[in-house]
Amino acid sequence: MQDVFKAFSLVGRIAVVTGANRGLGRAIAETLAAAGATVAAGARDPASLDETLGAIRAQGGTAVPLALDVREIDACSTALGELTGRLGRIDILVNNAGYEEVRPSLDVDEALWDRIVDTNLKGAFFCAQAAARSMAAGGHGGSIINLCSLTSYVGIPTAVAYGSSKTGLLGMTRALAAEWAPAGIRVNAIAPGYFRTDMTEVFYSDAAWETSMLAKIPQGRFGRMEDLSGAVLFLAGDASAYVTGHCIPIDGGYLASV
C-alpha cells in the first residue's frame, strides 16, 4: 500500500497554476503544494497572489509568485522559460485562468468574444506549448491539466463564447495528448460543475436559478473546493501515468443525468 500512496506524492515536482489568485485556481494551487510540489502561482497582478501564497506557506508548503497574463503570448513563453531556468524544470501545468461574461448571443461583440476565447483557449494552448518545451527539453515528461467545463459537453444559453472556448479546450486536450505522448507528456482535463466563485457569483444571486440547478444535480449540492483535490492529484502525479487525453467531470452527477 505504501507504493500506492507514493504515486500521489508530488514531492520534488515543480507546478505552474495559472489564475491562482482566487477561486478554483487558488484551491488547486493549495492542493498541489499540500502534496509536496513547489507551486509557481500565476496571475496578471502578482500582488493579488498574497492570500494564495500565504495560505500555502502557512501549511508548510512552498510557493512563488509568477506574473502571467495568458493573453500575452510572448510574455507567457518568456515567463515560463525564465521559471524553468530559475527552478530547473516544469513538471505540472494547470491551465486554470479563465474569463466568462453572461450575455445573450445576439449581443456578443468581437471584443467580448476575443477576450473569452483568447483567455480560455488561445492562452491555454500557448502556456501548454511553453510548458511542453520545458518538459521535452528536460527529458522527464510531465502532466498538463486543462480546466474544461460542463459547457465542453452541453449547450448553456448566454454562454456561447465561453462554451465555444471550453469545447475547443477539450478538443485541444485530446490532440495534444496524442501528439505529445511519445515525449512522456500527458495532457488531461477536469470539468468542474457548479462551484461558487467570484466569476459565477452572478448565478448564485438568483434564488430561483439556485433552486432549479440543485434539482438537476443528483448529489443535491454545489461543488466545494475540496471536491477538486482528488482528481487534480490523480492527474498531476504518477497515479495516472497511463492516463492521457481524458477529461474528468467533477459535477455531482450532472452530466450523467442530462
Active site residues: 162
| CB of 69 closer than 8 Å to CB of 75 | yes
The contacts of residue 86 (CB under 8 Å, 6+ apart) are: none
Backbone phi, psi, residue 41, to 5°:
-90, 115
Q: State how far the Cα of 128 lies from the Cα of 122, in Å rounded to an integer.
A: 10
Helix (H, G, I), strand (E, B) or coil at 179: helix
The 10 Å CB-count burial string (b at 16+, else e) for 45-80 is ebeebeebbebbeeeebebbbbebbbbbbeebbebb
Neighbours of 134 (CB within 10 A): 23
